[in-house]
């Protein structure tokens, strides 16, 4: 009998080498610049926080995998969750906080619902929100980055532009946005930012928030490093532009138009650029809102999802009680994801308007 030279198999015939593990490790790689920058400016302590959150996440995944008899430890999803949890922590938090956040993320947000792919909420965000509402004070006490620490007055050591403007508004100070408030209180800017500011005319504080010379969570301070990671993911086609671009633009435009109202600057008084660069928006928009499991499948749905995230981020930032809003906005839209997927269905092949008209005529 001749050996068949033709292999008969069902479709698909073209394979890309994209499996869960390669995607998860690529995303972790894309987060490397931002986390390295965080470790550089906040020192050894932040490395410890990252280490605790990652190890806890891996350990929880291992133990639960044993219980469920599914060995998913090395697909990288738990590593990524742990990394994101750590990047969302202030560098000065007591170490039990990242521990609890990772346990909650893996155990409650992910495995209770059936493991990777079955969770309705982004595990890392759920973990962060869990500890944020439990330990609000340590979670919102920040330390100054190394690049500014020598020139910084003590009173401002833990101020972020968002928390400062929130405090100012609730204290009745009007007529400021985050950046001008920082400068009026003597917050220093790096020399590089001042030089760039002289060249471009953009506020030096906005440039410093872009570069990452500002107090904040370990992984969120440098918008530049996050952008580099985001571009890498776009180039690898792991994410598409729909969610991050829509999310960033909708928050920025809404902040620009309405963001000045609570601080007394009126319509079109908010700042466009610093609203994108400050807080966890860049991290959230590029790495958390784009989570495959908890975002809609179709591009149209993704745009609706991202618009919702942008709207709620803007709303909570300027009219809510918390200084940071990205995590809760994304979680809120995670809840809407099944509904978006249900009502925004991609057009079937051949289902054109002409085809439908023909069908209608045939029926009539």
Partner 1 sequence: MSKMKELSKGLFKDNPIFVLMLGLCPVLGVSTQVSNAIGMSAGVMFVLLFSNMIISALRKIIPASIHIPAYIVVIASLVSFIQMVMHAYVPSVYNALGVYLPLIVVNCIILGRAEAFASKNTVVDSMLDAIGMSIGFALGLTLIALIRELFGSGTITLFPMGNFSGVINIPWFYDNPIRVFSLAPGALLIMGFLKAFFDWNSSRKKDK
Determine if 68 is a binding residue for partner 1 (CB under 8 A).
Answer: no
Q: What number of chain residues touch partner 1 (CB under 8 A)? A: 9
Residues listed for the chain: 364
Determine if 130 is a binding residue for partner 1 (CB under 8 A).
Answer: yes
Among 96, 241, 319, 355, binds partner 1 (CB under 8 A): 96
Question: What would the x/- binding string for partner 1 be over residues 270 to 289, using CB under 8 A?
Answer: --------------------
Determine if 134 is a binding residue for partner 1 (CB under 8 A).
Answer: yes
From the CB of residue 142, how many other CB atoms can be counted at a distance below 10 Å? Answer: 22
Tell me the two tokens of residue 210. Answer: 């872009």
Determine if 94 is a binding residue for partner 1 (CB under 8 A).
Answer: yes
Dihedral sign for Cα atoms in the order 277, 258, 142, 107: negative
Phi/psi at 115 (nearest 5 deg)?
90, -175
CB 272 within 8 Å of CB 252 = yes
Determine if 100 is a binding residue for partner 1 (CB under 8 A).
Answer: yes
Among 135, 272, 311, 336, binds partner 1 (CB under 8 A): 135
Q: Closest distance between partner 1 and the C-beta of residue 114, in Å?
A: 13
- C-alpha distances (whole Å) from 224 to each of 86, 219, 227, 260, 277 are 19, 11, 5, 25, 9
With CB under 8 A as the contact rule, which of the stretches 116-124, 127-135, 244-252, 335-343 interacts with partner 1?
A: 127-135
101 versus 254: smaller Cβ distance to partner 1: 101
Determine if 71 is a binding residue for partner 1 (CB under 8 A).
Answer: no
Among 21, 66, 68, 133, binds partner 1 (CB under 8 A): 133
> Exposed, middle or buried: residue 140 (CB in 10 Å: 0-12, 13-18, 19+)?
middle
DSSP secondary structure of 54-109: HHHHHHHHHHHHHHHT---GGGSHHHHHHHHHHHTS-TTS-THHHHHHHHIIIIII
Determine if 355 is a binding residue for partner 1 (CB under 8 A).
Answer: no
Residues that bind partner 1 (CB under 8 A): 94, 96, 100, 108, 130, 133-136
């Amino acid at each position: 009998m001749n050996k068949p030279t033709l292999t008969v198999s069902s479709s698909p015939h073209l394979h890309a080498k994209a499996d869960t593990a390669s995607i998860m490790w690529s995303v972790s790689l894309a987060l490397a610049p931002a986390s390295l920058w965080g470790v550089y400016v906040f020192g050894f302590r932040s490395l410890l926080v990252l280490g605790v959150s990652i190890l806890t996440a891996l350990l929880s995944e291992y133990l639960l995998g044993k219980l469920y008899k599914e060995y998913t430890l090395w697909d990288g999803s738990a590593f990524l969750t742990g990394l994101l949890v750590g990047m969302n922590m202030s560098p000065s938090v007591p170490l039990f906080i990242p521990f609890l956040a990772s346990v909650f993320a893996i155990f409650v947000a992910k495995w209770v619902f059936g493991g990777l792919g079955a969770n309705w909420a982004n595990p890392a965000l759920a973990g962060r929100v869990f500890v944020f509402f439990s330990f609000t004070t340590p979670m919102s006490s920040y330390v100054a980055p190394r690049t500014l620490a020598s020139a910084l007055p003590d009173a401002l050591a833990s101020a972020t532009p968002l928390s400062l403007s929130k405090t100012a508004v609730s204290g009745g100070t009007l007529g400021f946005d985050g950046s001008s408030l920082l400068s009026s209180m003597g917050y220093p800017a790096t020399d590089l930012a001042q030089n760039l500011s002289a060249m471009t005319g953009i506020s030096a504080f906005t440039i410093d928030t872009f570069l990452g010379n500002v107090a904040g969570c370990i992984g969120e301070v440098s918008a530049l490093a996050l952008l580099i990671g985001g571009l890498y993911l776009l180039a690898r086609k792991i994410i598409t532009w729909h969610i991050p671009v829509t999310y960033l633009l909708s928050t920025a435009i809404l902040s620009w138009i309405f963001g000045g109202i609570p601080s007394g600057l009126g319509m079109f008084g908010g700042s466009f650029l610093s609203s994108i660069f400050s807080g966890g928006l860049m991290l959230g928009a590029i790495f958390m809102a784009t989570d495959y499991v908890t975002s809609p499948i179709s591009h149209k749905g993704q745009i609706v999802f991202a618009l919702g995230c942008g709207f709620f981020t803007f709303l909570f930032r300027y009219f809510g009680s918390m200084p940071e809003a990205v995590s809760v906005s994304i979680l809120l839209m995670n809840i809407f994801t099944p509904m978006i997927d249900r009502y925004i269905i991609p057009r079937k092949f051949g289902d054109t308007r002409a085809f439908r008209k023909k069908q209608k005529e045939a029926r009539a």
